[in-house]
């Protein structure tokens, strides 16, 4: 007998202070590379007015829907109505679990630390090079994350927390998350 497999996607929230560059890039890449298995979101405590133009420039060549990207407050993900995340990934330590608000369901969290391409004073060509470097670091991290065997099969509602926890606890990667 043929049937339709009913599965749900893993929900991943990327956090960054202004939610205008690193977290937006991570959200867009996860959605583009594995949107059939993941729902990706991004937010921050001090959202910028718009996505940074250098982030848009990095994403434009390969991301099909840039229109859905916008800086958001992480408070949009804290209420009863908010989607329940399976994993929260901070892209710098200033927004890690010690600093972030409580999210519904208390999802596991981890840190993927990348340099802030918006920090400090630098000339535009230097900033563009830093954006390029950080972009490719995030590409590698997201690619490794979606290739983890734990995410090869869709999550069941009862097993997803255990699978995500196992992914975080694995010690063979340099980051606090297993990717």
Residue 130 has pLDDT above 90, yes or no: yes
pLDDT of residue 5: 53
Whether 31 is covered by a domain: the verdict is: yes
Q: What percent of the chain has pLDDT over 70?
A: 80
Beta strands in 47-157 (DSSP E): 87-90, 109-111
pLDDT per residue over 41-92, tens digit each? 999 999 999 999 999 988 988 776 778 899 999 999 998 899 999 999 999 8
Q: Which residues contact 92 (CB under 8 A, 6 or more apart)?
A: 16, 17, 22, 111, 113, 114, 116
- Do the Cβ atoms of 87 and 111 come closer than 8 Å? no
Whether 177 is covered by a domain: the verdict is: no
Boundaries of domain holding 151: 10-169
Q: Enter the pTM of the model.
A: 0.82
User: How many domains, in total, are found in the chain?
Assistant: 1
């Amino acid at each position: 007998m043929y049937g339709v497999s009913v599965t749900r996607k893993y929900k991943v929230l990327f956090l960054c202070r202004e939610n205008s560059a690193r977290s937006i890039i991570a959200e867009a890449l996860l959605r583009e590379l594995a949107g059939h298995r993941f729902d990706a979101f991004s937010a921050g405590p001090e959202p910028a007015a718009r996505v940074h133009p250098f982030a848009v420039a990095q994403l434009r060549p390969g991301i099909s829907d840039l229109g859905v990207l916008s800086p958001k407050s992480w408070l949009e993900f804290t209420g009863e109505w908010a989607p329940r995340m399976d994993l929260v990934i901070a892209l710098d330590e200033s927004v890690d679990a010690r600093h972030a608000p409580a999210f519904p369901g208390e999802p596991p969290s981890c840190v993927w630390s990348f340099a802030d391409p918006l920090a400090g004073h630098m000339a535009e060509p230097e900033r563009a090079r830093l954006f390029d470097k950080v972009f490719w670091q995030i590409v590698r991290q997201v690619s490794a994350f979606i290739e983890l065997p734990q995410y090869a099969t869709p999550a069941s509602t009862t097993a997803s927390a255990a699978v995500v926890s196992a992914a975080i606890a694995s010690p063979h990667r340099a980051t606090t998350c297993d990717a």
